[in-house]
DNA sequence: TTATACTGCAA
DNA sequence: TATTGCAGTATAA
């Protein structure tokens, strides 16, 4: 036996197994205190500690004293404090009687005479002070008011938690805290609601939700000994028996630890496997970990696991893409009983950003963090597709793997409980649990690439790019720059060298600002300057974009295929997204050069042809079905070209009418902003013309407007926007997001529903053709020529007829638009038939 | 190394 | 008050 441990040694080591280190939050930060901060020297009430009677055993931890607080020496007496006081009174709570109050920074920070937010240093220096307060008062609950309080409280948590401590990520969560034996609820700071009246309803709703917890019986503080619920083994017979038992269980969560993110490149392996068949127990064992199994043993384990995968046990995973694709690749199992993806369900239950990772979910439900010892081994080795999981200490690896499986199982149970409470989400969960299987099927099948064509194009563009770069560097402008700065300018430096060259040295007039208020050098700016220099810079930019973003990803294909992911757990509107190694949803289309260079490389598999089917004019039709506007129904039924109608009215192109006017209006823009965007393209256009068109649009489609305004009213009452299949978008939303979400989201959900139904038939009839990609309202097909007509017929039936029958909210038929390539053709050559 | 800004591509 | 995404490069801490 070669390897890290012999079996005997391993078992011995298990006795003193690695402890999962959790950083303590209560230690004072070394060398940081009042001396390093110094705020106390300047203020009237230095080092304010705590006020309030705290009858409800709840501590309000706010940001810092303001002017009024400093003068009176009492927390939360200024404008924001009064707003909080009033909001609590409406809920029959008294701020001073029921709560204790303190701040994460105890002295008032000022700038001149004005209040300012505390700096990170001040927050660190003052941290030990609220810690003492918490330890003394032992509150049942802590309310964190605002982002600074969240920062101070969670700043020493693990990386996945620390990476984003914004209030929008933490608000309206109740997180158990084991360190202080309490529960933590984060809320917007009342001053934020005072400054932004639109936020006030959300603030009040959150507060009501928060104080409701105080009436409840206190949650039992959780058992932290999750490690003892994990067992592992390297004994062959035991592993085999456990897998056999798992096959007989009803629900089993599974998790793989692997040598890389994806299995497609050569020699990728599953290092260990964990599974859990009940909420308080999980089991893990090494798989391709070196030196544990003989070849024969490994083969038998592999067989046994394949039998488990194909057993009726319902499999639960925290990322279907990951476990399914690895299962197929390593075990060749195709038709498994995948039941539940806790990641997409987490997204449906709460669609916030950076929310669905297992680390974060475990933290927010159990305040448990683990895996620090394994983290360095998970990182991929520089310039390689491999991590170092095989070198990780076996006991740590197995513990980590077992905990992942355990928490996936616990999360599943929690989500099921939650869905009993939120029954309206059940259809959404069903749709995504099915949908995610179709997404991972696409990902596994992959997209064929013509590598030779890609190499040729890339070389050609590289040559042109190098030539132009040379020309730029030899030009007089570069020379001028060099005289001043003793170096050549970097023409790709959009925030430094290029603005310096254009606006300082060459003294061109800046015409556009960036988001952060600097002088922009984007395409429109350089186009307007229209000199040899700027035109060459633009050309180089374009070439580099094509090469570095698209062709380089295609060149990295494996056996002439790329396998981009299609994700369902990221977009807040419940659209899909695509990533890794390439976002397949933004391959160039408008620019002819870029389109040809990139789309010529995407081809059918040998002997097949590519097909692409779009829902035609989809978002307008979705708006129509959701709003049920009478005139829009009529116009669509009569085939009125809405975009042309307004194009003629304003004397602009149909293209601009559609993209700059109709969609912009529907998504919340107004005539003035639209006029400003159109003016550079149409210098003779009058503001009043656009204004009149706007009036005409909303007169004609007043039903759409009323539907939109209704959405806003409903949102104000309920705090969320409803969508078909029960999806909900929650949290603080601006008006335009309320308008946009149900349209954008529902449009994609129609596609997803269609993909699921089509795949059912594809499987049943064993088609050789496959969906290989998906772009919001279209599918890309790799089609066997013999099946072409049948695929078209079935898709049309499902996308036009069935979808309307099964989903009564759709009241106007969708239309499909097809394009096909020749046999062995490319995505660029596709034509309408 | 890690986080942020800018740019540019799609629907 | 148009929205939803991903990725490459530059730059600063």
A551-CA/B9-C1' distance, Å: 13
pLDDT at A17: 27
- Burial A134-170, CB ≥16 within 10 A → b, else e: beebebbbbbbbbbbbbbbbbbbbbebbeeebebebb
Q: Could you give the 3-state DSSP secondary structure of residue A602?
A: strand
Is the CB of residue A27 less than 8 Å from the CB of residue A382? no
Q: Could you give the 3-state DSSP secondary structure of residue A776?
A: coil
| A740 CB neighbours strand C below 7 A | yes
Q: Which residue is nearest to nucleotide B4 (CA to C1')?
A: A516
| A168 CB neighbours strand C below 7 A | no
Q: How far apart are CA A43 and CA A449, in angstroms?
A: 67
Nearest nucleotide over every DNA/RNA strand to the A570 CA, judged by C1': C5
Residues of chain A (623-662) having a beta carbon less than 7 angstroms from strand C: 659
CA distances from A147 to A71, A201, A387, A592, A733 (A): 24, 18, 35, 47, 18
Tokens of A80: 């924001």
Q: How far apart are CA A726 and CA A428, in angstroms?
A: 6
A303-CA/C3-C1' distance, Å: 49
Q: How far apart are CA A150 and CA A162, in angstroms?
A: 10
Q: How far apart are CA A97 and CA A606, in angstroms?
A: 76
Nearest nucleotide over every DNA/RNA strand to the A668 CA, judged by C1': C2
Nearest nucleotide over every DNA/RNA strand to the A526 CA, judged by C1': B7
> What is the mean pLDDT of each successive set of 10 residues along chain A, which is 833 residues long?
29 28 47 77 83 94 90 88 95 96 90 83 88 94 94 87 90 91 94 90 95 74 82 97 96 96 92 95 97 97 96 96 95 88 96 93 91 87 86 96 97 97 97 96 95 96 94 94 93 93 94 90 92 94 94 93 95 94 93 95 96 94 96 95 93 90 92 89 91 95 96 94 96 92 95 97 97 96 98 97 97 96 96 88
Q: How far apart are CA A776 and CA A615, in angstroms?
A: 9
A545-CA/B8-C1' distance, Å: 8
Q: How far apart are CA A490 and CA A501, in angstroms?
A: 10
Tokens of A411: 């999360």
Tokens of A44: 């009237």
Q: How far apart are CA A491 and CA A487, in angstroms?
A: 12
Neighbours of A204 (CB within 10 A): 19
Is the CB of residue A775 less than 8 Å from the CB of residue A577? no
Interior angle at CA A328, CA A775 and CA A267, nearest 5: 105
pLDDT at A45: 83
Tokens of A276: 């859990």
CA distances from A752 to A434, A437, A578, A639, A763 (A): 9, 11, 14, 26, 16
Q: Which residue is nearest to nucleotide B6 (CA to C1')?
A: A494
Residues of chain A (140-169) having a beta carbon less than 7 angstroms from strand B: 163
What are the two backbone dihedrals, phi and then psi, of residue A314, each rounded to the nearest 5 degrees?
-80, 120
Chain C: positions less than 7 Å from a protein CB are 1-12
Nearest nucleotide over every DNA/RNA strand to the A664 CA, judged by C1': C2
A468-CA/B8-C1' distance, Å: 20
| A583 CB neighbours strand C below 7 A | yes
| A667 CB neighbours strand C below 7 A | yes
Residue keyed to tokens 């390093």: A36
Is the CB of residue A63 less than 8 Å from the CB of residue A115? no
| A553 CB neighbours strand C below 7 A | yes
Nearest nucleotide over every DNA/RNA strand to the A522 CA, judged by C1': B7
A586-CA/B8-C1' distance, Å: 10
A653, burial (CB in 10 Å: exposed 0-12, middle 13-18, buried 19+) = middle
Is the CB of residue A742 less than 8 Å from the CB of residue A722? yes
Q: How far apart are CA A454 and CA A29, in angstroms?
A: 55
| A523 CB neighbours strand B below 7 A | yes
Contacts for A299 with CB less than 8 Å, ≥ 6 apart? none
**Strand order, beta sheet including A281-286:** A230-232, A281-286, A270-278, A251-258, A314-317, A338-341
Q: How far apart are CA A338 and CA A512, in angstroms?
A: 52
Q: How far apart are CA A784 and CA A788, in angstroms?
A: 6
A414-CA/C4-C1' distance, Å: 29
Widest CA span in chain A: 85
| A579 CB neighbours strand C below 7 A | yes
Interior angle at CA A176, CA A171 and CA A181, nearest 5: 130
Q: Which residue is nearest to nucleotide C6 (CA to C1')?
A: A583
Q: How far apart are CA A775 and CA A334, in angstroms?
A: 25
| A663 CB neighbours strand C below 7 A | yes
| A492 CB neighbours strand C below 7 A | yes
Q: Which residue is nearest to nucleotide B3 (CA to C1')?
A: A163
Q: How far apart are CA A461 and CA A458, in angstroms?
A: 5
Element (H, E) at A68: helix A67-72
- Report CA dihedral (A34, A40, A46, A49) to the nearest 10 degrees: -30
DSSP per-residue codes, A305-345: HHHHHTSSSEEEES-HHHHHHHIIIII---S--EEEEHHHH
Closest CA to A323 of A231, A226, A444, A446: A444
Closest CA to A12 of A397, A394, A403: A394
A650-CA/C2-C1' distance, Å: 19
Residue keyed to tokens 């060298």: A497
| A686 CB neighbours strand B below 7 A | no
Element (H, E) at A816: strand A816-823
pLDDT in tens, A561-613: 999 999 999 999 999 999 999 999 999 999 999 999 999 999 999 999 999 99
A352-CA/C5-C1' distance, Å: 14
Is the CB of residue A271 less than 8 Å from the CB of residue A377? no
Q: How far apart are CA A748 and CA A776, in angstroms?
A: 5
A353-CA/B1-C1' distance, Å: 23
Q: How far apart are CA A139 and CA A148, in angstroms?
A: 20
Q: Spell out the alpha helix ranges (H) of A91-221.
A: 95-98, 120-137, 147-154, 159-162, 167-170, 190-195, 200-215
| A228 CB neighbours strand C below 7 A | no
| Alpha-carbon radius of gyration of chain A | 30
Preceding peptide of A736 cis, ω within 30°: no
CA distances from A490 to A6, A467, A485 (A): 56, 15, 12
Beta bridge partners of A722: A728
Tokens of A405: 């499986």
Q: How far apart are CA A475 and CA A480, in angstroms?
A: 9
A263-CA/C12-C1' distance, Å: 36
Closest CA to A482 of A507, A508, A505: A505
Distance of CA A588 to the CA centre of its chain: 23
**Strand order, beta sheet including A609-615:** A770-774, A778-783, A609-615, A816-823, A831-832
A542-CA/B4-C1' distance, Å: 23
pLDDT at A46: 84
Q: Which residue is nearest to nucleotide B11 (CA to C1')?
A: A776
Tokens of A195: 């400054």
Is the CB of residue A430 less than 8 Å from the CB of residue A48? no
A516-CA/B4-C1' distance, Å: 11
| A535 CB neighbours strand B below 7 A | no
Q: What region does A291 belong to: left with phi over 0, alpha with psi -120 to 50, or beta?
A: left
Element (H, E) at A739: helix A735-764
Contacts for A7 with CB less than 8 Å, ≥ 6 apart? A1, A234, A235, A292
Q: Which residue is nearest to nucleotide B9 (CA to C1')?
A: A586
A745-CA/B11-C1' distance, Å: 11
Residues of chain A (529-548) having a beta carbon less than 7 angstroms from strand C: 544, 548
pLDDT at A3: 28
Contacts for A217 with CB less than 8 Å, ≥ 6 apart? none
Is the CB of residue A263 less than 8 Å from the CB of residue A325? yes
What are the two backbone dihedrals, phi and then psi, of residue A492, each rounded to the nearest 5 degrees?
-90, 0
Tokens of A810: 């759709």
Chain B: positions less than 7 Å from a protein CB are 1, 3, 5-11
Tokens of A11: 């078992």
């Amino acid at each position: 036996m070669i390897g890290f441990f012999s079996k005997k040694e391993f078992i011995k080591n298990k006795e003193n197994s690695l402890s999962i280190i959790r950083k303590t939050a209560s230690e004072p930060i070394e060398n940081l205190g009042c001396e390093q901060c110094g705020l106390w020297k300047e203020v009237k009430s230095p080092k304010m500690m705590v006020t309030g009677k705290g009858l409800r055993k709840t501590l309000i931890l706010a940001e810092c004293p303001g002017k009024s607080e400093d003068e009176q020496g009492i927390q939360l007496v200024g404008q924001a404090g009064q707003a909080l006081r009033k909001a609590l009174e409406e809920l029959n709570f008294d701020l001073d009687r029921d709560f204790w109050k303190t701040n994460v920074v105890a002295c008032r920070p000022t700038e001149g005479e004005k209040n300012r937010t505390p700096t990170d240093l001040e927050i660190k220096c003052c941290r030990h002070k609220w810690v003492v307060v918490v330890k003394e008062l032992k509150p049942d609950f802590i309310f964190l008011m605002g982002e600074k309080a969240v920062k101070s409280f969670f700043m020493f948590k693990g990386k996945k938690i620390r990476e984003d401590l914004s209030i929008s990520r933490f608000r309206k969560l109740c997180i158990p805290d084991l360190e202080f034996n309490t529960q933590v609820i984060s809320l917007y700071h009342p001053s934020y609601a005072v400054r932004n009246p639109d936020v006030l309803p959300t603030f009040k709703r959150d507060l009501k939700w928060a104080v409701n917890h105080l009436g409840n019986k206190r949650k039992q503080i959780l058992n932290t000994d999750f490690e003892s619920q994990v067992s592992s083994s390297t004994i062959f017979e035991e592993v085999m028996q456990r897998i056999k038992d798992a096959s007989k269980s009803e629900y089993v969560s599974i998790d793989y630890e692997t040598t890389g993110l994806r299995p497609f490149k050569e020699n990728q392996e599953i290092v260990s496997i964990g599974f859990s068949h009940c909420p308080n127990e999980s089991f893990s064992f090494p798989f391709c970990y070196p030196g544990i199994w003989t070849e024969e043993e490994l083969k038998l384990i592999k067989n046994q696991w394949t039998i488990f995968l194909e057993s009726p046990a319902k499999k639960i995973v925290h990322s279907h893409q990951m476990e399914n694709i690895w299962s197929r690749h390593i075990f060749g199992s195709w038709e498994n009983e995948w039941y539940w993806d806790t990641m997409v369900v987490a997204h449906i239950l709460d669609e916030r950003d950076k929310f669905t990772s297992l680390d974060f979910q475990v933290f927010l439900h159990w305040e448990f963090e683990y895996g620090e010892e394994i983290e360095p081994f998970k990182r991929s080795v520089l310039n390689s597709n491999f991590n170092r999981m095989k070198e990780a200490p076996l006991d740590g690896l197995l513990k980590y793997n077992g905990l992942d499986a355990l928490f996936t199982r616990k999360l599943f149970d929690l989500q099921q409980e939650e869905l009993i409470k939120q029954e309206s989400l059940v259809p959404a969960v069903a749709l995504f649990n099915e949908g995610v299987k179709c997404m991972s099927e696409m990902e596994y099948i992959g997209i064929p690439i013509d590598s030779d064509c890609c190499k040729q194009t890339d070389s050609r563009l590289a040559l042109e790019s190098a030539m132009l770069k040379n020309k730029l560097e030899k030009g007089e402008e570069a020379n001028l720059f060099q005289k001043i700065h003793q170096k050549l300018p970097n023409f790709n430096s959009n925030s430094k060298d290029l603005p310096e060259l254009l606006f300082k040295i060459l003294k061109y007039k800046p015409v556009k600002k960036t988001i952060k208020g600097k002088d922009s050098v984007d395409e429109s700016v350089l186009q307007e300057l229209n000199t040899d220099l700027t035109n060459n810079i633009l050309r180089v930019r374009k070439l580099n974009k094509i090469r570095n973003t698209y062709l380089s990803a295609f060149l990295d294909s494996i056996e002439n295929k790329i396998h981009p992911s299609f994700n369902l757990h990221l977009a807040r509107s419940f659209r899909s997204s695509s990533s890794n190694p390439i976002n397949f949803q933004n391959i160039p289309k408008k620019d002819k050069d870029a389109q040809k260079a990139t789309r010529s490389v995407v081809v059918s598999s040998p002997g097949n042809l590519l097909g692409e089917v779009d829902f035609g004019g989809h978002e307008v039709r979705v708006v129509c079905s959701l709003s049920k506007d009478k005139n829009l129904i009529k116009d669509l039924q009569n085939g009125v070209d809405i975009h042309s109608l307004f194009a003629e009215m304003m004397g602009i192109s149909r293209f601009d009418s559609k993209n700059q006017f109709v969609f912009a209006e529907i998504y919340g823009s107004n005539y003035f902003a639209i006029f400003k965007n159109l003016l550079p393209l149409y210098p003779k256009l009058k503001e009043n013309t656009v204004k009149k068109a706007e009036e005409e649009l909303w007169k004609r489609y007043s039903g759409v407007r009323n539907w939109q305004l209704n959405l806003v009213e409903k949102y104000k009452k309920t705090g969320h926007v409803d969508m078909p299949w029960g999806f909900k978008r929650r949290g603080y939303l601006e008006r335009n997001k309320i308008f946009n979400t149900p349209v954008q989201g529902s449009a994609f959900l129609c596609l997803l529903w269609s993909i699921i139904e089509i795949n059912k038939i594809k499987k049943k009839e064993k088609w050789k053709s496959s969906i290989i990609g998906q772009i919001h309202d279209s599918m890309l097909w790799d089609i066997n020529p013999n099946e072409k007509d049948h695929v078209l017929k079935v898709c049309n039936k499902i996308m036009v007829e069935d979808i309307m029958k099964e989903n009564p909210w759709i009241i106007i038929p969708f239309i499909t638009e097809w394009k096909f390539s020749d046999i062995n053709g490319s995505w660029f050559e596709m034509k309408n038939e």
